[in-house]
Amino acid sequence: MLNELLALESRVTEVVALCHALRAENDGLKDQLAAAQAEKHQLVERMGEARSRLERLTAQLPEAKT
């Protein structure tokens, strides 16, 4: 009986350690996701600005004569 309790205690300790490790990994992944989302937002803004510049430049091109 004592051996079974010691084995159970060991398993519980392993599960607790795994939970802590997974929580830390999850926190790191949340940080990475937030950084990636911020970068995506910046890139979307830059693409919009580039699109606007291209549209302004296109509007300044002379019409093609056929």
Hey, CA dihedral for 11, 17, 20, 21, is it positive or negative?
A: negative
CB atoms within 10 A of CB 41: 10
pTM of the model: 0.70
- Residue 50 CA to residue 54 CA, distance in Å, equals 6
At 6-58, the pLDDT tens digits run: 999 999 999 999 999 999 999 999 999 999 999 999 999 999 999 999 999 99
